[in-house]
Amino acid sequence: MNALVVGLYSLAGFLAAVLLFSAEPMIGKMVLPLFGGTPSVWNTCLLYFQLVVLVGYALAGFLPPNSQDARLVERQLVSIPALLLVTAMLVGGGLMLPFDVNLPTGHRANAAAAHPTFPLINTLARSASLPLWLAAAASPLLQRWFAGTGHPRAHDPYFLYAASSTGNLLALLAYPFVIEPYLTLKAQASLWRGGYVALALLLVGCGLAARGLSRAVTTENGEETPARMSTTIVPNRRHLATLLLVFIPSSWLMGVTTYLTTDLAPMPLLWVIPLAIYLLSFIVAFAGPDSLAVRLAGRSLPVLALAVILVLSAGFVHAWWMPLHLLAFLAGAVACHGALARRRPPASQLSWFYVTIAVGGLLGGIFNAIVAPLLFRRVVEYPLAIVLGCAAASGANGLASIATGRRFWNELALPAVIFALTAVVVTDQAGLASSAPGAFAVIGACGLVVFTIKSARRRPIRFALSAGAIMAASGLTQGLGGRLLHVERNFFGVARVTEDDAHTLHRLFHGSTLHGQQSLDPSLAREPSTYFTRSGPIGQVFAALDERLRQPGTQVAIVGLGVGTLAAYAQVGQRWTFYEIDPAIERIARDHRYFRYLADCRAAMLDVVLGDARLRLREAPDRSYRLIVLDAFSSDSLPAHLITREAIRLYRSKLADGGILAFNLSNRYLDLDPLMGRQAADAGLVCRIGYDLKVSDAERQAGKQPSIWAVMAADARDLGPLAADPRWRNPRTMPGARPWTDDYSDLARYLHWKSWRRNPPS
């Protein structure tokens, strides 16, 4: 009987975790089309689910199973499963619809604001808060019920936490590899409803079992008293330590996720991997706080953290560095959560412990998703979490130093020296790095860093400050793309304008991706450059359509503004409309100090429409555009909702007879050629792919970048000369690929790790 009860409770905790953590990527994917498909969407989703967990833990924590009144215990064990069952019947029957993530009336404009975090949270909160709260409450509630029974293992119910953590991990890993590739979003939501009904039934069984076990515990006198737990409150200092040990890995999780998805793609696979590591760290830490795995994580953390700091300082962003970032995060999370597990209270204080964990995680989410974009112009929160993790992971000494500032000033001397030596090297003034003083600076900085690593466990604050000094000194460099002229950060990422004195250029970067540049030479200033040159694929498109585009009143739509480079192709009498979701990009493109493509445009009318293109294009008259160009990438990530079946159907409705769609497929990590062929075939369109990857040194000096473009039209004759041009080929096929819809997409299928710039497809 006892084994059956343990199995029942473990299964219920496992299913509750599966439901909660499968809903997370599913809802995140649902809201991407409404808010531009940026990495900040997922961070805000994480913040929302941290809030859900806090509410769920609070619901479980403040219910009165610790009461000495047996009648209150009996009522809870009956009423809570009944509430869950009623909610499950409403959800399963469709009367309470979870995951309805459409924006409320009057909020569509907010989705294009610079910081639409709160409209997004409002949208998420309306989707299915009550079922999610109850699913989140299930795990601590089950442990409290179990701890209050007379079961032989009731004194230490933390083993049930392993079952729920395992469910969390399996649900996350299953989503990108099993659920997303084979199930539409509607099917996923239906499956979730069925699972929720099953959870409610399991909790009814758990409540009945707990009711039977907790009716009475026989005392030595043969009397019967209700099973109860102590109401002892944990000291405030212990709460503060717990908050810090959860806050830091939570912030680190969001930081590393943003870093990875900015230059790859905001998709469930890259959301899930860091979150799975985060959950794995809980499992490892609570399985054995003093185990070899936890000790190894603590010892390897200084080396791994410093390696990541050096990679960030050098500006290395290739996907091959991703394992290093994830490994360092794993070591930091395991070390912090190991210190947390060593401080876990007895079962009598379980509720406060879980609520404190939820509060710490939520604070980390608030800091990264809301506070950091307002405070910092750059992504500072990621290296800051690494530095704090190095200080706190050692346990009590590091925590006390962070919380009270004790010994902080005493530890500054060595980091200050490291900062000065590193600054000498990275600024390279007057060739110091290649001179004798520069050589001594390099050797001295390396020696001091090695020394701080060796003493990191004994002096965690000094090591953390030394790592921070290296990161701070790296900020003195000229940086990627030249001298920094302007930097701006909002919900959609970090935009930087730089000046390259050697080539007299202004450049715009989003993340690490070049989004446009313009020559300061008056003779070249009006020439399109980078991915948009006249000799490249998009130049060939404009040349092929030249006669049709010269007709009076011709309208052209461009999705994605950049610096406005494509406006260089505009002709007198035309009407051009740019659709741009990021208001910062429009401000930069219109600032004459940086770029003049828009100011020098020869079109009769040029307009910039702010907002998501799918939403704003609906407002345009049907059959109005002769050409629609889609160049809407956020750094190197792809807004998948802009190339679905429904999106292409919308574009076709806005195209005039004989019009063409052009897509910029230039991307470091996504092979979009076969996807575009599949989408075109699904829409009944002809498609050609233009590769322009062999760029000479002279062309690069002139500003040209390799690029890949796709064109679609209703008939091959609409493509004009492009249909027979050998530079434009039929798209490749991918066996088993399905067309993307608003209800189904699978970006992971199209990921590739070989740079197309060096390895053109055959």
Instruction: Report the CATH number at residue 142.
Output: 1.20.1250
Tell me if 481 is assigned to some domain. Answer: no
The pLDDT assigned to 462 comes to 82
Tell me if 34 is assigned to some domain. Answer: yes
Whether residues 92 and 123 share a domain: the answer is: yes
Whether residues 468 and 602 share a domain: the answer is: no
Q: Which of helix, strand or coil describes residue 727?
A: coil
Summarised one tens digit per residue, pLDDT across range 594-607 is 999 999 999 999 99
Indicate the DSSP class of residue 219.
-
The pLDDT assigned to 116 comes to 72
R_g of the chain, CA atoms, integer Å: 29
- Distance (Å, rounded) from C-alpha 357 to C-alpha 158? 14
Q: Which of 468, 568, 486 is nearest to 527 (CA)?
A: 568
Whether residues 177 and 252 share a domain: the answer is: no
Specify the number of domains making up the chain.
4
Whether residues 599 and 644 share a domain: the answer is: yes
The pLDDT assigned to 215 comes to 52
The pLDDT assigned to 375 comes to 87
Domain hosting residue 57, numbered range: 1-216
Separation of first and last alpha carbons in the chain: 64
SS3 of 222-265: CCEECCCCCCCCCCHHHHHHHHHHHHHHHHHHHHHHHHHHHHCC
Which conformational region is residue 31 in: left (phi greater than 0), alpha (psi within -120 to 50 degrees), or beta?
Answer: alpha
Which conformational region is residue 612 in: left (phi greater than 0), alpha (psi within -120 to 50 degrees), or beta?
Answer: beta
Whether residues 267 and 322 share a domain: the answer is: yes
Number of other CB atoms surrounding residue 368 within 10 Å: 28
197: Cα within 13 Å, side-chain hemisphere: 12
Q: Which of helix, strand or coil describes residue 527?
A: coil
Tell me if 225 is assigned to some domain. Answer: no
Per-residue CA distances from 93 to 54, 87, 188, 735, 756 (Å)? 27, 10, 15, 38, 49
Q: Which of helix, strand or coil describes residue 405?
A: coil
The pLDDT assigned to 574 comes to 93
Residues in CB range of 126: below 8 A, 6 or more apart: 100, 101, 104
Q: What is the pTM of this model?
A: 0.78
Whether residues 461 and 572 share a domain: the answer is: no
Asked whether the beta carbons of 592 and 94 are under 8 A apart, the reply is: no
- Distance (Å, rounded) from C-alpha 564 to C-alpha 568? 8
Query: Which is it for the CA torsion 248, 253, 254, 257, positive or negative?
Result: positive
- Distance (Å, rounded) from C-alpha 183 to C-alpha 191? 10
Whether residues 467 and 565 share a domain: the answer is: no
Q: Which of 39, 16, 42 is nearest to 27 (CA)?
A: 42
Whether residues 688 and 546 share a domain: the answer is: yes
Whether residues 119 and 209 share a domain: the answer is: yes
Tell me if 760 is assigned to some domain. Answer: no
Query: Which residue do the tokens 């050589």 mark?
Result: 439
Residues in the chain predicted with pLDDT less than 70, given as ranges, are: 1-2, 36-39, 61-115, 128, 148-159, 161-162, 210-238, 263-269, 318, 347-351, 394-410, 425-449, 451, 454-456, 477-481, 633-638, 753-762
Whether residues 743 and 612 share a domain: the answer is: yes
Tell me if 383 is assigned to some domain. Answer: no
How many residues are present in the chain? 762
The pLDDT assigned to 306 comes to 86
Whether residues 439 and 468 share a domain: the answer is: yes
Q: Which of 530, 539, 518 is nearest to 600 (CA)?
A: 518
Last residue of a domain, one of 356, 376, 396: 376
Tell me if 506 is assigned to some domain. Answer: no
- Burial label for 625, CB within 10 Å (0-12, 13-18, 19+), is buried
Summarised one tens digit per residue, pLDDT across range 281-305 is 988 888 778 888 888 998 888 888 8
- Distance (Å, rounded) from C-alpha 21 to C-alpha 65? 27
The pLDDT assigned to 402 comes to 53
Tell me if 512 is assigned to some domain. Answer: no
Asked whether the beta carbons of 339 and 248 are under 8 A apart, the reply is: no
Tell me if 159 is assigned to some domain. Answer: yes
Whether residues 607 and 737 share a domain: the answer is: yes
- E strands, 67-177, in order: none
Query: Which residue do the tokens 């009165």 mark?
Result: 64
Residue 99 backbone phi and psi in degrees, to 5: 70, 40
Last residue of a domain, one of 156, 186, 216: 216
Q: Which of 209, 55, 84, 81 is nearest to 146 (CA)?
A: 209
The pLDDT assigned to 3 comes to 72
- E strands, 472-528, in order: 483-490, 493-500, 505-510, 513-519
